[in-house]
Amino acid sequence: MAYYIGRRLLLMIPTLIVISFIIFVIIQLPPGDYLESYVAELESQGESVDPAQIAALRHQYGLDEPFLIQYTTWATGMLHGDFGYSFEYGLPVTDVVGDRLFLTVIVSLFTIVFTWLIAFPIGMYTATHQYSWGDYGLTLLGFLGLATPNFLLALVMLYFANVTFGISIGGLMDPEYLDAQWSWDKLMSILQHLWIPVIVIGTSGTAAMIRRLRANLLDELHKPYVVTARAKGVPPFRLLVKYPLRVSLNFFVADVGSMLPSIISGAEIVAVVLSLPTTGPILISALQSQDMYLAGSFLMFLALLTVIGVLVSDIALALLDPRIRLEGGRM
Amino acid sequence: MKTMPDTGHFVSDKPFDPYSVEKITPEQERLYFASQWRLMWWVFKRHRLALFCGVLLIVMYLSILVAEFLAPYALKTRHTDYIYSPPQPIHLFHEGEFVGPFVYGWEYELDMDRLLRVYSEDTSRVYPLSFFCQGDPYEFWGIWKSDRHLVCAPDDAALFMLGTDRLGRDMLSRIIYGARISLTIGLIGIMVSFVLGVTLGGFAGYYGGWVDSSVQRITEVIRSFPELPLWMALSAVLPVTWSPIWVFFGITIILALLDWTGLARAVRSKLLALREEDYCMAAELMGARPVRVIRRHLLPGILSHLIASATLSIPAMILGETALSFLGLGLRPPITSWGVLLNEAQNINVVAIYPWLMLPVVPVIIVILAFNFFGDGLRDAADPYKH
């Protein structure tokens, strides 16, 4: 087991290096840099800019260095916990990111739990009642969730949550807690607002999960050991829970890995609509204003989050399923 | 059938043909000699919902060819007298009498308290709809001019079956025109990602070794990345100065660049198994080059699976375009796509006051559902020998 985890951890390193390189290439792709658009903005307002000052700034931030040197500086800085400087906010990136990333993690975790809670009973029902009206209806419902664009659902839910429940529009907490220290009340306020984004993001993932649980269960339900158990008089529900469900459970854990990227994607776009203080809105504005270190570090954090999530799910799967542990994994 | 008198056995009256078990009936012959594609069609036909969705998709794709004719108004026509008009009801009966489809006069008053235009029907005026009528002129496929439309209201009457937007443009017409971009973006994108996925996955599966493991690493990296932020970053790269049509192609390529990994995986795992087959070895021994072996001998065996999984990944692209355009990072006006239309439904006012501006989401949902069911049916049919 230790060998498996160690191998898995070592494999993460090259993945992260490649990811960081791709990210840096992408944020460097647009022509010009933040200072250029900054100068253009100042000039459009009729202010004059001292070229020497700009050149000094450019030198200070290393923007005049060749590409590879810039990348190495950025990448090695990250290893020391220095993620660069956000031009737009005038703050180190870590200060801007801080809480936001934590909130993204919370939203993602709750979404995964929500997806499980919904997909589990529905998947069981549709598998045991194959081709019944309930099966068709619930499957259609799942697909509807998949087909509805997240952002629109968010908008509509926002409106109805406000009209029916009187919850303040947007955000992830009541306004008075925005800059407050972490406290019990703040946590409760967050939980109160959390359900809208969680439902909105969760709906798009449940359909796939329901379908897969259904398919896995259907495979198991026709196996001889189930028939034997039934012939021996095991009650239907106990029969379902005791063996076939446990066999098809593995993928629930394994799926976290493939679900995470889409959950974080969903969280981003929903965050923009609901103006959640997670990463979405800032990432967009950082990308548009070429605030490259902020955008790059954001993307890097999101990727890191996913990679760690996949790692955790792989380890959990290996604990659950000795076949994976012994064969060295599904790499 | 008769009964033997002494033993009581039943014996058939039919003449005895010792070769009957070796001969096959016409039905069996039809089944055994049917080509793979014919078998797939038979299996696919049994999945009624998938068949229906397939027909629906074909109709929708055909309709984008004749969008100008189907839309009641031209794309750019503005009706400044009818701004933010809600969907207009179509009636069949006037005062208990059957007139055929018609609309009443459509008028508005300003509600100065809420600063809204309140539209109402003027039931004294009846405007029967005309079909194949003359309306806004357009150029059909950029070749010949015409002004025929499927349906329009008589001269001075208004016909806004799905309402109008803030510039007084007919929503129905815009949705029909928007289908052009939204539907083709998925199709073009999937072609690009198909080529990428088949090429990379094909080489990985055929050669194995370091080619395989490097392709595997690349797919892993791309898959472990939340796609929307990456799409956002990539589309922020597209220069603002690009013309809308270039932006369209740029977005398509971006969507495809992250999508090919699923296909590459499928191709790779199938080829890993297939390359051990005898016919592959035979082709190699006869001196076929790798590209020829892959293209000529290996790919046809898995083509049906590939088409099925490609169909299933089109919806993600259509949703991706919608999401990007909604965020203002994707397509921009004057290009009209469903995402661009939804971009105007961005604020809470729309939900509360002008909910019909959210109608472009209906075709999005229908298309995505249809592609999912259609792809499901294709996947079930992809391996007809299984049954």
Q: What is the CATH number of the domain that holds B347?
A: 1.10.3720.10
B209 and B347 inside one domain: yes
B197 vs A277 pLDDT, higher one: B197
B110 and B185 inside one domain: no
Question: What residues are paired with B148 via a beta bridge?
Answer: B134
B240 lies in some domain? yes
Of the residues B131, B159, B187, the one at which a domain ends:
B159
Question: What residues are paired with B144 via a beta bridge?
Answer: B140
Interval B332-341 mean pLDDT: 84
| pLDDT higher than 90, residue B59 | yes
B254 and B351 inside one domain: yes
Q: Which of A289, A185, B99 lies closest to A281, judged by CA?
A: A289
Give the DSSP H or E segment for B104.
Answer: strand B97-111
Reported confidence tier of residue A331, pLDDT bands at 50, 70, 90: very low
In this complex, do A159 and B329 lie within 8 Å of one another by their Cβ atoms?
Answer: no
Per residue in A244-300, pLDDT tens? Answer: 887 777 777 777 777 777 787 777 778 777 777 666 777 777 777 777 778 788 788
Of the residues B159, B191, B218, the one at which a domain ends:
B159
What percent of chain B lies above the pLDDT cut of 90? 4
| pLDDT higher than 90, residue B93 | no
B150 and B252 inside one domain: no
Q: Select the highest-mean-pLDDT range: A63-67, B277-281, B302-306.
A: B277-281
For an interface test with B, give the residue of A152, A169, A263, A307 to mutate (most B CBs within 10 A).
A152
Q: Which two tokens stand for residue A32?
A: 């010009």
B187 and B153 inside one domain: no
The pLDDT value recorded for residue A183 is: 74
The pLDDT value recorded for residue B105 is: 78
Reported confidence tier of residue B385, pLDDT bands at 50, 70, 90: low
Reported confidence tier of residue A324, pLDDT bands at 50, 70, 90: low
B270 and B209 inside one domain: yes
Nearest-by-CA chain B residue for A136 = B49
In this complex, do A265 and B345 lie within 8 Å of one another by their Cβ atoms?
Answer: no
Put simply, whether B253 touches A (Cβ < 8 Å) is: no
B96 and B221 inside one domain: no
Domain A99-320 classified CATH 3.20.20.140? Answer: no
Question: What residues are paired with B105 via a beta bridge?
Answer: B122
DSSP category for residue B164: B
Of the residues B111, B134, B159, the one at which a domain ends:
B159
As annotated, the residues of chain A forming the CATH 1.10.3720.10 domain(s) are 99-320
User: CA–CA separation, A252 vs A216, rounded Å?
Assistant: 11
B289 lies in some domain? yes
The pLDDT value recorded for residue A330 is: 40
DSSP string, B115-136: TEEEEEEEEEEEEE-EEEEEEE
B140 and B181 inside one domain: no
B219 and B107 inside one domain: no
Put simply, whether B239 touches A (Cβ < 8 Å) is: yes
B165 lies in some domain? no
The pLDDT value recorded for residue A329 is: 41
User: CA–CA separation, A305 vs A289, rounded Å?
Assistant: 24
Q: Which structural domain range is residue B129 located in?
A: 88-159
Interval B102-108 mean pLDDT: 79
B206 and B149 inside one domain: no
**What is the DSSP pairing of strand B130-140 with strand B144-152?**
antiparallel
Residue B101: alpha-carbon gap to chain centroid = 30
Q: Give the torsion through C-alpha atoms of B379, B383, B386, B387, to 10 deg.
A: 70
The pLDDT value recorded for residue A285 is: 77
Residue A270 Cα distances to A136, A149, A170, B53, angstroms = 29, 10, 10, 29
Put simply, whether B326 touches A (Cβ < 8 Å) is: yes
Reported confidence tier of residue A178, pLDDT bands at 50, 70, 90: low
The pLDDT value recorded for residue B56 is: 92
Task: Kindly report the pTM of this predicted structure.
Answer: 0.80
B265 and B342 inside one domain: yes
The pLDDT value recorded for residue B344 is: 82
B274 and B342 inside one domain: yes
Could you give the ipTM of this predicted complex? 0.75
User: CA–CA separation, A59 vs A39, rounded Å?
Assistant: 15
Reported confidence tier of residue A171, pLDDT bands at 50, 70, 90: low
Give the DSSP H or E segment for B152.
Answer: strand B144-152
Put simply, whether B361 touches A (Cβ < 8 Å) is: yes
User: CA–CA separation, B85 vs B42, rounded Å?
Assistant: 48
| pLDDT higher than 90, residue B321 | no
What is the total count of domains within chain B?
A: 2
